[in-house]
Amino acid sequence: MFNNLPKKIQLTEVGPRDGFQNVKTFIPTGDKIAIIEGLIESGLTTLEITSFVSPKAIPQMADAAQICAAILGKYDGKINASALVPNLRGAQLAWDAGIREITCVVSVTAEHNKANVNRTHEESVQELVRMREALPDMNMRVDLATVFACPFVGWVKPEAVAAVTEKIAKTGIKKFVLCDTIGVATPDRVYNLTKFMKSTFPDFEFSLHLHDTRGVGMVNMMAGIMAGVDSFETSVGGLGGCPFAPGAAGNTPTEDVVNMLTDMGITSGVDLNRLLQVVALIKDNVDEPLNSHMAKAKIYDCFCPRQ
C-alpha cells in the first residue's frame, strides 16, 4: 500500500491569506511581514500571501498592497507568491502590486456560491472571462469550494464537481484546487473524487485543500496522496476556515503535515524546526488559538533521519 508514495510533496502555504482572514483583531502589517518572511525562510516557496478584497468585507486584508511590496521586493524570483481575488478589480489591484498568479473561488453548489461571492455559476464564469481578457498574462487557478459537501445542501456528487469544472474549463483555466470547505470529507470520498477528477480531466492540474475541522485532515491527505495528488494547501498553525461556512474553522496545519512527511521520508523542502519558530511567533502576535499538534508536541532529537 505504501510502496508507491511520491518522493516529494508540494505544499502551498495559505496561512497569510486563509489563516489570517478570520482573525478579528487586526494583525499589524509588520507582524504579518515577519511571519511570511519566517515561512519563506523555513523553506516554503509557494505561498498565498494575501487577498485583494474589499477592506469593508475583510478588514484584515486592507494592507494587501503593503504586504506584496515588502515580500515581492525581497523575494521576487525566489518564491511563487499568489493572492486571492473576488473580481476583476481585485485582479487588477493584484497585478499592479506585482502578483502574477491569482486564486478565484467558485463553489460547486449554487447555494454556497451565492453566499460566498454573491453570484450564480454563470456570473462567476463570466467574471473569470473578464479577468482573463483584461489580464492575459496573469496566471489563474480556481479553488473549487464545497466539492465534498455544502453546509446548505449536504453531500455533493462527483458528477456535480465535474460539471462546474467543465464550465470553468471553457475559459482556458486548467489549474484547480479541490476544497473540503466545511471539513467533513472522509478518506474514501477524497480518494474517489480525486481519482474521478484526474481521470475525467487528465490534462488538468489538481491540488487538495483539506480542512481539519473533525480531526481527519492528514488522514484525508494520505488518501489524496494514494490517489496520485502531490500538491496540497496547508495553513501554519491550522489557522483559517471559510467565513461563509458555519463551523468550518481549522485548516490542516502545515507543521503537522511537514512532521508527518519528514518522518515518512517524503520531501517537502521545509525545515520543521524553523517552521516551529514561526508558529511561536504567531502565538505571540496573532490573537487566535492555534489548531496544530506540533505547536504543543515535543520534538525528539534521538531519532535518526529515515534511511
Structure confidence at residue 299 (pLDDT): 75
Structure confidence at residue 305 (pLDDT): 57
Q: Which three cell numbers stand for residue 77?
A: 524570483
Active-site choice (68, 104, 150, 242): 242
Structure confidence at residue 3 (pLDDT): 73
Integer angstrom CA distances of residue 157 from 48, 153, 281, 287: 28, 11, 41, 37
Predicted confidence (pLDDT) per residue in 115-144, tens digit: 989 999 999 999 999 999 999 999 999 999
Structure confidence at residue 233 (pLDDT): 98
Structure confidence at residue 4 (pLDDT): 81
Structure confidence at residue 240 (pLDDT): 87
Q: What is the largest CA-CA distance in the chain?
A: 57
pTM: 0.94
Domain 10-285 fold is: TIM Barrel (3.20.20)
Contacts of 128 (CB under 8 A, 6+ apart): 104, 106, 140, 142, 168, 171, 173
Alpha-helix residue ranges (DSSP H) falling in the chain? 29-41, 64-75, 88-96, 110-117, 121-134, 158-169, 187-200, 217-226, 254-263, 272-285
Burial zone of 305 (CB within 10 Å; 0-12 exposed, 13-18 middle, 19+ buried) = exposed
Contact indicator for 281, 38 with CB cutoff of 8 Å:
yes
Residue 150 is a catalytic residue: no
CA dist 114 and 120 (Å) reads: 6
Structure confidence at residue 306 (pLDDT): 54
Predicted confidence (pLDDT) per residue in 22-81, tens digit: 899 999 999 999 999 999 999 999 999 999 999 999 999 999 999 999 999 999 899 999
Low-confidence stretches of the chain (pLDDT beneath 70): 1, 242-249, 301-307
Q: Domain coordinates of the chain in residue numbers?
A: 10-285
CA dist 183 and 284 (Å) reads: 27
Burial zone of 299 (CB within 10 Å; 0-12 exposed, 13-18 middle, 19+ buried) = exposed
Structure confidence at residue 22 (pLDDT): 87
Contacts of 245 (CB under 8 A, 6+ apart): 112, 146, 151, 181, 182
Strand partners, 10: 231
